[in-house]
Amino acid sequence: MPTSILTAISLFLWQPAQAGPPKPEPPCDGERYDTCLNGTLYTQCCPAGSRCQTQVHTNCGYGRCIAGGDRGRCPVLEPNITAERTPEACKYRSGTWERACVKGQVTMACFPMLPTNFSGAGQNPAFTECGGGRCTTSGIPEACYPTREETKTCSGAWEKACIGGKVEERCLPANATRYATGYVTCSDGGCAIGPTTASCP
């Protein structure tokens, strides 16, 4: 899948807020290119007249990345919430009371006050409601459905899917979108979504 499409799909991913405007990039007399190092996306400069090697990686959005071409390995984010459990207590701490996906469940939660000049995508990552109070911040449709550890009964069918680089059995209903059920085994022992090992890290 082209990097541009992967980027558009995964722009919902969250990063912590940072005070102040983004730092300007240093001048470059050649071409800029992106590289992924330890899960963080960096922009580097390839000097004019030089050949710079780039690795295959997926832009997960907001400065996050993973090696390889499988967006299913992008991090599943949790919201940055405080300990307050009522709207009154949250307001007392100058927080905001919002719906959020916390550990796979839709709930109301308190978010701390942000700096007035912060940069970033906020503290509450976008999520998909799966029904029955379940939710996920993952971009993989199959992540909505329970594993064998979460339920002993399945009204659909147990099917294997590659989620986060690992093969998991999920209870998928007949009308579920199947995106991660087609995968390959990678040399690191994990899996990658797609028909070939080109998506592997």
Give the pLDDT band of residue 117 (cuts 50, 70, 90): low
pLDDT score of 86 more than 50? yes
β-strand partners of 160:
169
Q: Residue 99's beta-bridge partner residues? A: 108
Q: Is a pLDDT exceeding 60 seen at residue 124?
A: yes
Residue 25 has pLDDT above 60, yes or no: yes
Whether the pLDDT of residue 17 is over 70: the answer is: no
Which residues are bridge partners to 43 per DSSP? Answer: 34
> Would you place residue 182 in the very low, low, confident or very high pLDDT band (cuts 50, 70, 90)?
very high
3-state percent helix, strand, coil for the chain, nearest multiple of 5: 10, 35, 55
Residue 195 identity (one-letter amino acid): P
SS3 91: helix
pLDDT over 50 at 16, yes or no: no
For 159, the token pair is 């099917």
Task: Work out the average pLDDT over 28-42.
Answer: 85
- Give CA–CA dist 182/144, Å, rounded: 17
Coil/strand/helix, residue 142? helix
Any idea which residue has 């199959």 for tokens?
142
Split at pLDDT 50, 70, 90, the class of 98 is very high
Mean pLDDT, rounded, for 143-165: 91
Amino acid 86 reads: T
Residue 12 has pLDDT above 60, yes or no: no
Strands 183-185 and 191-193: antiparallel
Q: Which sign, positive or negative, has the C-alpha torsion 180, 14, 188, 44?
A: positive
